[in-house]
Structure 1
């Protein structure tokens, strides 16, 4: 199994996107780096089922530090993926477990 991305390819605080097989389907994942840790979510807004990026791998971040859906403006907390403003307030992005090992980001299920 290959790593999703090298940690060095994602700046601290940045958002990125990778394609991966999750539960038998090709999925776009949003990655968010915080220091040496990375969080991941399926790149689908719970409001309308569309991708959150405005162009592949290009995400909007509010001045408050929230991830913003490019389609309807829903704002998601980067700590927990919960929608804090917009049409899906209270819903959350679907998390995907990842881990950082040897300077690379892996799906947590990967050996």
Structure 2
């Protein structure tokens, strides 16, 4: 189950990136979104036709997941990987499958595709 932050449910929209800029199995970010007056780092994951987004914060210690921009996935590009301690997350739901935060989830950010662009509420 996605852990969507209720602070994200407002009407202002922000373009994060073009869908064409995301590999069919890849990720992009971090992007900065203002959520309830606080700037949050967010990343986008594409797995074929599916696009999801999450706050770039591991539920274990609150650290960013990646060490370099756009490097959020494991080598097979099938799981989100925390570079700090190797936790692995489902790219569709953000649920941690393996690691010290197993069973906990990343905070999901609702996104949609509009005119070929990935957009999120801000």
TM over 0.5: yes
- Taking the aligned partners of 1:67 and 1:29, their CA distance within structure 2 comes to 13
Q: Which has the higher contact order (CA 8 A, sep 6+)?
A: 2
Stretches (4+) displaced over 4 A: none
Which runs of 5 or more structure 2 residues have no equivalent in the other structure? 1-12
Aligned length: 109
Scaled by the length of structure 1, what TM-score is found?
0.87
Decide whether the 8 Å contact of 1:54 with 1:60 is kept in 2.
Answer: no
Pairwise CA RMSD: 1.8
- Taking the aligned partners of 1:46 and 1:2, their CA distance within structure 2 comes to 25
Scaled by the length of structure 2, what TM-score is found?
0.80
1:55 matched to 2:45? The reply is no
Q: CA deviation at 1:4?
A: 1.2
| Residue aligning to 2:117 | 104
- Other structure's SS at 1:8 match: helix
Cα shift readout 1:47-86 (whole Å, capped 9, x = no counterpart): 0100000223322415482111000111101121100000
